[in-house]
Structure 1
């Protein structure tokens, strides 16, 4: 009788183990036939760009079809995340935290880069200190984007304001490519841009760096690019999340240890997307102002969100508790 009970227990445990393994597998790769990754052709997205160029995403997601989509701005990336066109990818912190505060179930899992954002100026504008920005025209790629929020904080730190906030600084919204023409026509005096655009403007139109990456708010520690996905994706596919973060981590280390090779691959990938070939010198200069790291500080993200509230983009609470989830990053680093 005891032997029969023991055999039945062993059989039951075996069934539970098999069932458990089956469920775990069902929640990861066996149910997923495709994964779509989003990113931008900016140097601040370098780990992701390299992942496309060296096919490290395909290698890590073996057996799964990997698709890639590029975006010109963060709001379009967040639209794609919301509609299921993208599963996970790279985006600036501004768009993702704004969507989170608007009720979207999204997560920030890690950083890809910090710094990488600077304020460039027109040589003829005679701007040599923050106070010289008064009565000038400054361009940002969008409203409430990461560049815009950084600028707002920078102005606030220097007792300056936009005209719409009772100050004397005019703001215009333009894509970086269009900014170059406006600089040459002297229609704008300064702009907040991500790399490699600052390095491009330095070389092509003799723009100068007015505020370098380490002089920006938070001493340049503000994430330029984060890894974002939906809460549903983290819950349903934790193994795939960790695979993605592993590729990001590996590529950060590869770029640090193989700078020349990495820049050549990134150059090729940016050219494929934008049809423009940036010189290695431009990319190398841009990388000196971009710090690649997966580490992320939730407190800085919270302060960033508070600016959205002050700006009026968010009408409700600006509490982003729960947006940043570092548990997956901790696991892969261990």
Structure 2
């Protein structure tokens, strides 16, 4: 590890959670928790205070799309930046489970995908969470079996996604709808059958020939290609301006953000430091992230999978806010959620304060919150 790295701190606590929850249950939990939290509508702005919490409970996934916390927690950068605030980390398998923990009071902040954050914001009437920074863009692909060469070949096919209503599930359904193919979230007649399930199960079923393909995040798209013989029919970045869309961002309970802005700013300082190092040392960063995955799950990614998956990601502090409302609109159009306006979901004031202090370009909330 180079001199840019922080020494590892011994007071970090990691508790692995094998957690999954039905989307409906999570949304119900979000609704009730949003009423309980009842934060005010004031945004955190530069100079709002530097109060710090005695403890920060942070969630993230043991997944390469969460490279920022994987690297920053593993090498001690996050713990050191937080100073006297104790860092406690919980590992999740899916966004709805992380949201459920946040709304039940078990988390203060979590790295998460866009659609679970949208659902949390909507079900709490825009009160309970704020997006305070980005983390990752890209890294999702539709991979299919041989013989499927264009969208029309998908008619009658069975495809998988990680979870009903999750980011990739919404993206697949919206793309198919735009291409003239109907899907259903309740069963019945449709052009393409979508079966949301655990990614490991998707890999097994694809190898057995029971699935025609899947829309998956990394490293699972790469695993289906390298281990299952799949091919890429569509890389999601082809659907977005300049190939940029949010895959992972950082959300914080609004109540925690308002009470402890100093702690949130230090967390963002740790993120920016980590992302600077990742950008300067991509190969070493990929190895460190993979080592962390191995420590958390008991198994690292294969070197071939890591080599294919890592370049498909862009690590960034920018939450790419311009892509979020469209993701919400897609979810409504395919029937996995109601229409929702996201005004106020972002508070990027602390992140932009950190970026400005370091001479970097501020990021945009795209009219959906405070900058």
The question of a shared fold, defined as TM-score above 0.5 by the shorter chain, is answered with yes
Q: Distance in 1 between matches of 2:238 and 2:157?
A: 20
Partner of 1:86, secondary structure, is coil
**1:319 counterpart = 2:319:** no
**1:128 counterpart = 2:149:** yes
Q: TM-score, normalised by structure 1?
A: 0.86
Larger radius of gyration: 1
Query: For residues 283 and 80 of structure 1, do their structure 2 counterparts lie closer, same or farther at Cα, with a shift above 3 Å needed?
Result: same
Equivalent residue runs for 1:81-120 within 5 Å? 81-103=102-124, 105-120=128-143
CA shift, 1:167, in A, is: 3.5
Q: Which of 124, 141, 159 does residue 180 from structure 2 map onto?
A: 159
Partner of 2:232, secondary structure, is strand
Q: Distance in 2 between matches of 1:218 and 1:153?
A: 16
Aligned to 1:333: 355
Partner of 1:252, secondary structure, is helix
Do the aligned partners of 2:174 and 2:331 also contact (CA within 8 Å) in 1? no
Q: Distance in 1 between matches of 2:171 and 2:302?
A: 28
Q: Which of 300, 308, 321 does residue 331 from structure 2 map onto?
A: 308
Aligned to 2:191: 168
Q: Distance in 2 between matches of 1:92 and 1:283?
A: 20
**1:295 counterpart = 2:315:** no
Q: Which moved more, 1:86-95 or 1:148-157?
A: 148-157
Aligned to 1:182: 205
Do the aligned partners of 2:138 and 2:312 also contact (CA within 8 Å) in 1? yes
Aligned to 1:251: 274
Q: Distance in 2 between matches of 1:142 and 1:268?
A: 26
Q: Distance in 1 between matches of 2:329 and 2:306?
A: 33
Query: For residues 193 and 218 of structure 1, do their structure 2 counterparts lie closer, same or farther at Cα, with a shift above 3 Å needed?
Result: farther
CA shift, 1:49, in A, is: 0.6
Any stretches of 5+ residues in structure 2 without a counterpart? 1-47, 357-371
Segments of 4+ moved more than 3 angstroms = 163-167, 216-220, 311-315
Partner of 1:319, secondary structure, is coil
Partner of 2:347, secondary structure, is coil
Query: For residues 227 and 118 of structure 1, do their structure 2 counterparts lie closer, same or farther at Cα, with a shift above 3 Å needed?
Result: same
**1:37 counterpart = 2:58:** yes
Aligned to 2:15: none
Q: Which of 84, 92, 96 does residue 75 from structure 1 map onto?
A: 96
Q: Which of 260, 267, 270 does residue 290 from structure 2 map onto?
A: 267
Partner of 1:188, secondary structure, is coil
CA RMSD of aligned residues (A): 1.9
Aligned to 2:368: none
**1:65 counterpart = 2:86:** yes
Q: Which of 229, 236, 256 does residue 259 from structure 2 map onto?
A: 236
Q: Deviations over 1:55-99 (max 9, x none)?
A: 111110111211110101000000111012111120001111012
Q: Distance in 2 between matches of 1:247 and 1:157?
A: 40
Q: Which moved more, 1:161-170 or 1:94-103?
A: 161-170
Query: For residues 159 and 128 of structure 1, do their structure 2 counterparts lie closer, same or farther at Cα, with a shift above 3 Å needed?
Result: same
Q: What number of residue pairs does the alignment pair up? A: 305
CA shift, 1:111, in A, is: 1.3
Do the aligned partners of 2:174 and 2:333 also contact (CA within 8 Å) in 1? no
Q: Distance in 2 between matches of 1:100 and 1:178?
A: 30
Q: Distance in 1 between matches of 2:169 and 2:150?
A: 19
Q: Distance in 2 between matches of 1:311 and 1:203?
A: 31
